Amino acid sequence: MPSNRQAPRGLPEHNQQSVTQQWLAILSVAVGAFALVTSEFLPVGVLNDVASDLGISAGLAGLMVTLPGIMAALAAPLISVGVGALDRRYLLIGLTLIMIIANTIVAYAVDFNLLLVGRVLLGVSIGGFWATAIALSGRLAPDGMGVAKANSIIMAGVTLATVVGVPVGTWLSGLMGWRMTFLVTALVGIPVLLAQVFLLPRLLPEKAIRISDLPALFINPQARIGLIAVLLIGLAHFAAYTYVAPFFKQNAGFDGPTIGSLLLLYGVAGFMGNIFAGYAANRSVRHTLMLVALMIAVSTALFPHFATGMTGAAMLIALWGFAFGAFPACANIWMFVVAPKDVERGMPLFVAMFQVIIALGSFFGGQVVDHMGTAVLLSLATALVGCGFVTVLVLGRNVSNNLAAQPG
């Protein structure tokens, strides 16, 4: 194995790169994270089109969200442990390539089964990329940048994809059709892949992750409280939000362009929520997470009654978007606050849990929508978010921020 100061020809170490190269390298990972997570959530905005084109129900089409979540949940810990001492540079490049192939398969799928094959491949890419990229953020940080700030750059790609991917996908689908939406996402991945090939430095692991390291966050009592709250709030969100587009079409009677505009409003509000969380959660992650839960609960509770009109729909989807835009940041900051030494070891299982939330939420939501309707789904989501709020309020009362001691 080459020493840390002797990189293979044409492949520099991080400290041998210029600051510009370092910035471009970390941005290539951030944009890669954006493309991956955008791919994951694209079906939410095009479920109606896919279901109509393939002659299936909206609930069955929801498997496009469920299956990648299941595969990502499995891939995150298995890949993190299985790759051993492999240079993480090659892992990131390989996962980006899988994302391109997966979206291409979906774009050209002749039936729903082949489409699901592409979505399963995407899940493998998502799980491995999330678990790897976040853990490597400190090692990719440009000179003079702290670990926390480097992490926030990569997480910005994830968060923006979470809140912007759906409206962008819906907009593109309206212009070019749902298949072209996935093909465009695959094409976006090509320059990202090339940037990673030419810009990423060697990223040999300092220590291989062992299976015994994975439960680190689940063992920590205060981290476990946060995990329970994230589970309840996230499950409610993904169960309900996955079927927002069908609600707008079937219950409110909105057309495609109107739904796209509302989801774009959700994305803009979510971006603002992400910025808000960066300030608020760094001061009191407990109170910020409680506020997020309260806003989501208000949105889901009022949706069946007021989101059938344009004004009510716009106000509630914006509130919902703002709240969820802040949610991923709150979840991560909670872990850094209560268990900073366990985050890197526990990240693969944390990513796995988050993907299980997405999969279970979309599946549970699909079953309720198909059998009881979206109004019942939204009521159940409100109850779950309420349980998450109570968890943070009661069990998390001893959690307070002490971020001054953290680097960056």
User: What pLDDT does residue 328 have?
Assistant: 82
Separation of alpha carbons 35 and 42, rounded Å = 10
User: What pLDDT does residue 406 have?
Assistant: 45
pTM to 2 decimal places: 0.73
Separation of alpha carbons 376 and 365, rounded Å = 10
Residues 6 or more apart in contact with residue 278 via CB below 8 angstroms: 152, 329
Separation of CA 58 from chain center: 22
User: Does residue 223 contact residue 338 with C-beta atoms inside 8 Å?
Assistant: yes
Q: Which residues of the chain have pLDDT under 70?
A: 1-12, 14-16, 134-135, 137-138, 144-152, 159, 162-167, 205-209, 213, 343-344, 402-408
User: What pLDDT does residue 249 have?
Assistant: 84
Q: Give the relative orientation of helices 63-82 and 112-140 as an angle to the nearest 10 degrees.
A: 40
| Two tokens, residue 358 | 């997405």
Cα–Cα distance list, 132 to 12, 29, 142, 247 (Å): 20, 10, 18, 36
Q: Return phi, psi of residue 209, to 5°.
A: -80, 130
Q: Which sign does the torsion angle of CA 393, 398, 403, 404 carry? A: positive
User: What pLDDT does residue 162 have?
Assistant: 63
Longest dimension (CA), the chain: 65
User: Does residue 402 contact residue 333 with C-beta atoms inside 8 Å?
Assistant: no
Number of C-beta neighbours around residue 8 at 10 A = 9
pLDDT digits (tens, 9 = 90+) for 204-215: 766 666 777 677
Residues 6 or more apart in contact with residue 244 via CB below 8 angstroms: 44, 263, 317
pLDDT digits (tens, 9 = 90+) for 170-225: 777 778 888 988 998 899 899 999 988 988 888 776 666 677 767 777 888 888 89
63 sits in which H/E element: helix 63-82
Q: Return phi, psi of residue 127, to 5°.
A: -60, -45
281 HSE (CA, 13 A, CB side): 26
